[in-house]
Amino acid sequence: MNARTGEGDAAPLLITNPGFQPDDDGSCPIREVLRRVGDTWSLLVIFMLQPGPLRFNALKRRIEGISQRMLTVTLRGLERDGLVARTVFPTNPPSVEYELTAFGRSLAGPVAALGHWAAENRQRLRDAQAQFDKADAG
């Protein structure tokens, strides 16, 4: 039982997880990955591409609120990291499709787990925020 939260330990301490241990170069693997996929749009792009390839405009229509520039920047970053492949078809005008690579598809499990956690704990998070804000204001 956690004395601070009053809850049982749900998982082992993260400090024992190799993803949180510094590499030989001193960098932390989880920080490096979160830098790539922890932004506002990357996980949504990965989620939308999971069923299969999409053209740029189809992808843009499916992600509410993303600008053309941000989608371009996000796709280029994901492509640079080997998570997304870009295919140009020799049509007039050229058409371009984006799809997850095998490496990108390997994120499906961790992203699904995070999505389940978010769905299960959304209200709890909102309640905690409201309680904090109320105490902070008073």
What the block records as the tokens of 87 is 């295919």
Q: H-helix or E-strand containing 115?
A: helix 108-137
110 assigned to some structural domain: yes
21-57 pLDDT, tens digit per residue, is: 667 776 777 788 888 888 889 999 999 999 999 999 9
74-132 pLDDT, tens digit per residue, is: 999 999 999 999 999 999 988 999 999 999 999 888 888 888 999 999 999 999 999 99
Residue 3 reports pLDDT greater than 50: no
3 assigned to some structural domain: no
Q: How far apart are CA 135 and CA 122, in angstroms?
A: 20
- What is the reported pLDDT for 131? 95
62 assigned to some structural domain: yes
11-25 pLDDT, tens digit per residue, is: 666 666 666 666 777
8 assigned to some structural domain: no
2 assigned to some structural domain: no
Q: How far apart are CA 136 and CA 97, in angstroms?
A: 48
Residue 111's CB is within 10 A of a number of other CB atoms, namely 15
Of 63, 46, 39, 38, the closest CA to residue 109 belongs to 46
Average pLDDT, the chain: 87
Strand order in the sheet with 84-89: 54-55, 95-100, 84-89
Question: How many domains is the chain built from?
Answer: 1
Residue 121 sits in a domain whose CATH number is 1.10.10.10
68 assigned to some structural domain: yes
5 assigned to some structural domain: no
3-state SS class at 85: strand
Q: How far apart are CA 45 and CA 65, in angstroms?
A: 12
4 assigned to some structural domain: no
pLDDT band of residue 138 (cuts 50, 70, 90) is: confident
- What is the reported pLDDT for 1? 43
- What is the reported pLDDT for 112? 84
Identity at 17, one-letter amino acid code: N
Phi, psi of 111 (to 5 degrees): -65, -40
Q: pTM, whole model, 2 decimals?
A: 0.74
Domain residue limits at 108: 14-137
